[in-house]
Amino acid sequence: MWENDVDITSRSIYIGRSSSGEEIGPDALARLLQSLVILERKGQSAITLYVNTEGGCLWNALGMCDIIEASQLEVIAVGVGRIWSSGSIIMQAADHRVMSPNSTMLLHGGELALSGHPLNGKSWVEAERRATEVVAQMYAKRSSKNANYYKRLMNRAQDTILTSQEALELGLVDEIGYV
């Protein structure tokens, strides 16, 4: 039975659009943390993390990666449908990554909109540059390509949309299938 994006019986967590319409944002980060704490208290067997998202806030996605990587439990991420933007980053934090056959994975650089004092712009541009480096390292960690390959992809003006087979060949997922 699903409640608040977690099914305690099957030890599953859903990441994607919530009932409030939010994708990857502060509420999704909080729900993931709560869900992992609940499931860690309920036993030591693996957790399945279902990912279906158009993306969202990079900083919240990186926070979700930190939470997943810090978990004492084995986390199996299953990408279904859209594994776009921040979703592709979250998948990299799992111990095992599965992508359903007809899913797509989207990689691209972040978007930056500035407001406030003009002198803050330089700080935000630098923060985005550092984040791009972190994400490129995450993609490269278990991939057949190095971080520079992913930085070039993310710094292009167009999105990179991968089939499940292409994601498998790059090492961004471990298998194509279902869990």
CATH class of the domain defined by 2-111+157-176: alpha beta
Return d(Cα 32, Cα 59) in angstroms, integer: 14
Cβ-contact 140, 150 below 8 angstroms: yes
Cβ-contact 4, 31 below 8 angstroms: yes
Q: What is the pLDDT along the chain (179 residues), one digit of tens a residue?
A: 566 678 889 999 999 866 556 689 999 999 999 999 999 998 889 999 999 999 999 999 999 999 999 999 999 999 999 999 999 999 999 999 999 999 999 999 877 777 888 888 888 889 889 999 999 999 999 999 999 999 999 988 799 999 999 999 999 999 999 87
7 CB neighbour count, 10 Å cutoff: 17
pTM of the complete model: 0.92
Q: What is the pLDDT of residue 173?
A: 98
Return d(Cα 34, Cα 105) in angstroms, integer: 26
